[in-house]
A and B are shown apart, each in its own frame.
Chain A
Amino acid sequence: MDEENTNLKRTALFDAHTALGARMVGFGGWEMPVLYSGIAPEHQAVRQAAGLFDISHMGEFQFDGPGALPFLNQLLTNDLSRLDPGQGQYSLLCQDNGGVIDDLYAYRLSQDGYLLIVNASRIEVDWMWIKAQRNTRHKALQLEMTNRSGALSAMALQGPSAAGIIAGEFPAAVELKKNRIAALDFGGATAWVSRTGYTGEDGFELVVPNEHAAALWDRLLSLGQALGLVPAGLGARDTLRTEAGYSLYGHELTSETTPIEAGLGWAVALDKPDFIGREMLAAQKQDGVSRRCIGFRMTGKSAPPRERYTIFAADGTGREIGEVTSGTQSPSLGCGIGLGYIETAHAKPDTGIEIEIRNRRFPAQVVRRPIYRKPD
């Protein structure tokens, strides 16, 4: 994930990160904090109290007008018509062959207003694709579409203490149910606050105009000071999402994989009349797929698994059956965990597999996602 630090964009919170002693790295074309105090302590803070992440690198697209719903519902796999104003859903943008262009969150802000939150590395590709669709198949529809990624900042407040912290500035946010969004006031500006996240914990994502980002960041950090809130970097964001079993574009999701193979069939609404990729995805759902995305954990002592390591069958044949797409040491479990694609016959939870690490094979086990579950 590290990239050369040349021509990288900086978020409105860059100076705040530097002041907090962050280590910065390139990610998706942006210079982002990978850690402040350390990946493991930031990870634990999010599981036990709360962490604040800069996610301003992510993209925001707005759609307004009576044509927004039919247009977006033709592009996205999930059914946007199920949303009332103030509701959101996870969804995917696919090619005709079902390959994933991006995964995203879609919110219905008002009767005819929608907001998509997309991956940083996919902003340009997504926007080109959406514009091309608009200009070819959907010219007649009445809608305005705006790429607001450059003007908006975003942050994620995550962890069991998140609600207690956000209450100090946005009492209404605490009332939001999961996947709901509200436009709230922050110093005279609109803050979109949604109850969602990428860590497997309760939490919120907040989108504000760039010029208000530093004030909101500081405000949340100060509200959380007594409640164990720490700034958290992309390193902890990645270990948290891997433990939660969430897909990351470029790893579990690419133009070569489909939502069905990725185990995201629940976000593919095959009952809506038509959308791009439907034919392939319906066929895969009906006929089954030859490989599937799985979570796994190492069962013996070993180095952590890493992306692109080979997965072998543990059934005596020693056959190559797949590849790791994300791997790390799990700070919560204290062992190596990962996500990967393997042949469907081996994808059942509890199936023994082997991961090749530097020419030696180590035992692992397919597990249900989330890989880490909080004790009740």
Chain B
Amino acid sequence: MSDVPTDLRYADSHEWVNVEGDTATIGISDHAQEELTELVFIELPEVGSQLTAGDPCAVVESVKTASDIYAPVSGQVLEINDALDTEPGTVNEDPYGDGWFFKVRLSNPDEINDLLSDEEYAEQVNT
């Protein structure tokens, strides 16, 4: 059973979103990091770039493969987690904490309603 914190929203492509006012912090779920296995490289979007919900915006690489990460919401990138550049394994160890990916200013806060609740996401990954 992978960990699905109750205070987050989820995309069915396995990203989590933590909304605080008009800002959202985004990362990948415990289930996603488990499926991807040990990450060795992470490519994040540039600060200032504009993301559109559903579009690929980052790449994570395990020893074996490269996988796209999709923007769960639209908005401008405010900050990225630079520490992942040298320590990509942090995502495996702490996917909901130090392993966060980036923060965006939401351009369409209504999109949050399209995301899955923790219960819906838990049902998707733990059944």
Contact = CB atoms under 8 A, between A and B. Distances in A.
B63 A303 contact: no
B37 A304 contact: no
Interface string A202-244: 0000000000000000000000000000000001001100000
Q: Decide if the interface of chain B is mainly helix, strand, loop or mixed.
A: strand
A39 interface: yes
A358 B66 CA distance: 11
A258 interface: no
B121 interface: no
A303 B64 contact: no
B41 A39 contact: no
Interface residues of B, number: 12
Given A35-B37, A38-B37, A39-B38, A239 B43 contact: no
A329 B37 contact: no
Given A239-B63, A329-B63, A304 B40 contact: yes
Contact of A39 (B43, B61, B63, B66): B63
Contacts of B53: none
Given A38-B37, A38-B38, A329-B40, A358 B64 contact: no
Contacts of B62: 39
Contacts of A282: none
B55 to A, nearest CB: 14
Contacts of A239: 63
A286 B13 CA distance: 54
Contacts of A40: 38, 63
B7 to A, nearest CB: 29
B42 to A, nearest CB: 9
Contact of A303 (B37, B38, B41): B41
A34 B62 CA distance: 13
A26 interface: no
A328 B63 contact: yes
B59 interface: yes
Chain A, interface size category, equals 10 to 19
Contacts of A331: 63
B78 to A, nearest CB: 23
A121 B63 CA distance: 23
A306 interface: yes
A53 B61 CA distance: 24
A328 B41 contact: no
B74 to A, nearest CB: 22
Nearest to A40: B38
Contacts of B41: 302-304, 329
Nearest to A236: B63
Contacts of B38: 38-40
B59 A39 contact: no
A244 to B, nearest CB: 16
Interface string A17-45: 00000000000000000110011100000
A34 B49 CA distance: 37
A95 B102 CA distance: 53
Contacts of B40: 304, 329
Interface of B: 37-38, 40-41, 43, 59, 61-66
Which 7 residue pairs are nearest across A and B when measured between Cβ atoms?
A329-B40, A39-B63, A303-B41, A329-B63, A303-B61, A40-B38, A38-B38
Given A238-B64, A329-B63, 4 more contacts: A38-B38, A39-B63, A303-B43, A329-B40
30 contacts: A34-B64, A35-B37, A38-B37, A38-B38, A39-B37, A39-B63, A40-B38, A40-B63, A235-B37, A235-B63, A235-B64, A238-B64, A239-B63, A302-B41, A303-B41, A303-B43, A303-B59, A303-B66, A304-B40, A304-B61, A304-B63, A304-B66, A306-B65, A306-B66, A328-B64, A329-B40, A329-B61, A329-B63, A358-B43, A358-B59
